[in-house]
Structures are given as structure tokens and as C-alpha cells.
Amino acid sequence: MTVRNKLSENALQRLRIWLLLTPAMTVIVMLFVGGLIAGLARSLNYFPLIGLTEPNLDAYRAVLGDETFLRSLAVTSYISFTATAISSVLAVAAALLLRPLVLRQRLFYFMFSLNLTVPHAVGAIGISYLLSQGGLASRLARSAGLTDRPADFPALVADPWAIGIIVEYVWKETPFIGIVVLAILASVGEDYESAARSLGAGRWQTFRYVTMPLVLPGLVPASVIVFAFTFGAFEVPFLLGRTAPTTLPVLAYRSYTDVDLAARPEAMAISMVIAGTSALIISAYLALTRHYSRG
């Protein structure tokens, strides 16, 4: 009876949790899954409002064979990989530097995570005021005699290398990844690293063989989240990027807002490519995580 009562109690507890989650999950399913299904239908040229009632792959053929799309895909991938890589490296470095300070004073943790509350659109506007050729950095360079006019200042906004976009993402995402790494370092302490050093390991060996394996379980998922976000983000490339080639989200937005409703399926096809790429990245991470866990 005791075992049976425990099983019944556990079942009731699980049922109670599901009932509590049902309202929120219903909203999420309706908004996300419903929108995804509607977007998939539109990408397959099923749009009865404008007379498209026979699903086909014409939009995908048009998009995947378009040079503009391929250039946008290359630009989007470059921005996402670069921003994620730089953010991850800086996050680990910042976490290692701040660990002793954070353990003694929580103010440093607060200051490090402060810009997480700033929306990306606000950050993009700030970067524009700071790094554009008529911005603060340009005026300071002119005052210091480094340049004679605004045009002499390097183009860091709407530039071919998307420096402004990458700087904004790095500024915003480094604390996000760094907080995850800091939490891991604070939880495991310094005993493992001290043991490695006492056995003769140098700083680089300790970092490579002890510290990195400890932080990777948190660093990798945080980096995957950052990559998926930057791959599908719209506002920062729209405010700081070039008009051509632009990123996939901006390209999809322009196609969707085209006065010609026939361009809507192609816009939805681009959006499905973005969603599919993010899903593949996350699936690859989950597969590697399962493989690592079994090992």
C-alpha cells in the first residue's frame, strides 16, 4: 500500500504541474506553432486570399536560386558565427577575471550584467550614435586631430564587414554568456584548478584541461542560443546594416512588406529557411550533448 500510495501521489503531483502549465503552454502553442504552420502554408504558395490554392515549391525554388538570397545567407552566417565566437571568447575571459571579484562583492556581478536589460534596438541606436561617421567617436577623432572631416573616419556602420552589427551583438551577448560561465565557475570553486597547479600544470594547461571542460556544458548551449538569436534577429541589421546585401530577416521583411502580394510566399520561404537553420543548429547541439553524456 505504501508503494502504491507513493506512486499515486507522484502521479497527482505530475498532473498538478501539467495543469498549472496548461494556460501558458496553450498560448505558446497557439502563437508559435500556429504561426509556424501558417507561415509554412504560405511558403508553399497556399494563400487563398490572393487566389493561391494549390501548394507547391515554387517559392523555395525561386528563393534558393536567387543570388540575392545566397549573398544574404552568407552575410547572415558570417555575422552570426563571428559575433558568437567573439562573444564566447570575451565571456570566458571576463568570467575568469571577474570570478574573484564577484565572489567578494556582488556589485561587480550587477555591473557586468547591467546591459542585459537594454533592448537590442536601443543598443543599435547607441552604436549608431557612437560609431557612425558623424558620431561621437568620429567627433573625438576630429578633436584630437586624427581626422579632418567625418568622411575620414572609418565606416563602422552600414559597412561591408558589418562591424557595427557585430559590435552591438558582442556588447549585448557577452554578458549573457559570461553570466552562465560565471555561475559554473562560482559553483565548482577553484579546488580543481588548484589541484592541477599543485601537480605541476601551468596556467595554459590548467585552463585547457580543467577550466574549459568544466565550463563547456554551460558555454556551448549559451553560444547556441546566441547563434540562433543573431541568425534570426531583425532590428539590429535593419538599423546598422547595409541595404544590400542584407541579412535574411531583413530580406524576408522587405519581401513581406512588398506591395505585390505575390512576394509573400517567397518571404515566408525565407522565414522557413531561417527557422530550419536554427532548428538544425539546435538539433546538432542536442545530438552532441547526448553523445557527450553517454561518453
173 and 60 assigned to the same domain: yes
Which neighbouring-strand residues pair with 61? none
| 251 and 225 within one domain | yes
> What pLDDT score does 165 carry?
95
Give the pLDDT band of residue 134 (cuts 50, 70, 90): confident
Do 29 and 53 lie in a common domain?
Answer: no
Q: What is the pTM of this model?
A: 0.86
Cell of 212: 574549459
Residue-wise pLDDT for 69-117, tens only, equals: 999 999 999 999 999 999 999 999 999 888 887 666 677 777 888 888 8
- Same domain as 191, residue 143: yes
Task: Judge if 75 and 121 occupy the same domain.
Answer: yes
In this structure, the answer to whether residues 155 and 21 fall within a common structural domain is no
Shared domain for 62 and 31, answered yes or no, is: no
The answer on 28 and 114 residing in a single domain is no
Question: 34 and 169, same structural domain?
Answer: no
By percentage, how much of the chain surpasses pLDDT 90? 31
| Lookup result for grid cell 556581478 | 109
pLDDT digits over 244-283, tens only? 889 999 999 998 888 777 778 889 999 999 988 888 888 8
In this structure, the answer to whether residues 123 and 172 fall within a common structural domain is yes
Residue 35 is part of which domain span? 1-43
What mean pLDDT comes out for the span 119-137?
A: 90
Vertex 160, ends 156 and 162: CA angle to 5°? 55
pLDDT range class, residue 293, cuts 50, 70, 90: low
C-beta neighbour count of 180 within 10 angstroms: 21
Bond into 245 cis (ω within 30): yes
Split at pLDDT 50, 70, 90, the class of 122 is very high
Distance CA 272, CA 85 (A): 25
Same domain, 147 and 229: yes
Taking the CB of residue 155, how many other CB atoms lie within 10 A of it? 15
Rounded percentage of the chain residues whose pLDDT exceeds 70? 93
211-245 pLDDT per residue, tens: 888 898 889 889 998 999 999 999 999 999 988 88
Q: Total structural domains in the chain?
A: 2
Predicted pLDDT of residue 1? 47
Residue that is last in its domain, among 11, 28, 43: 43
SS3 content of the chain, % helix, strand, coil (to 5): 80, 0, 20
Cell (9 digits) for 70: 545566397
The larger pLDDT score, comparing residue 160 to residue 52, is at 160
On whether both 32 and 143 belong to a single domain, the answer is no
Q: Identify the pLDDT of residue 93.
A: 93
**Do the Cβ atoms of 290 and 229 come closer than 8 Å?**
no
Find the range with the poorest average confidence among 155-159, 187-191, 203-207, 231-235.
187-191
Give residue-wise pLDDT tens across range 40-72: 888 888 877 777 778 889 889 989 888 999 999
- Average pLDDT of the chain to the nearest whole number: 85
CATH number, domain at 74? 1.10.3720.10
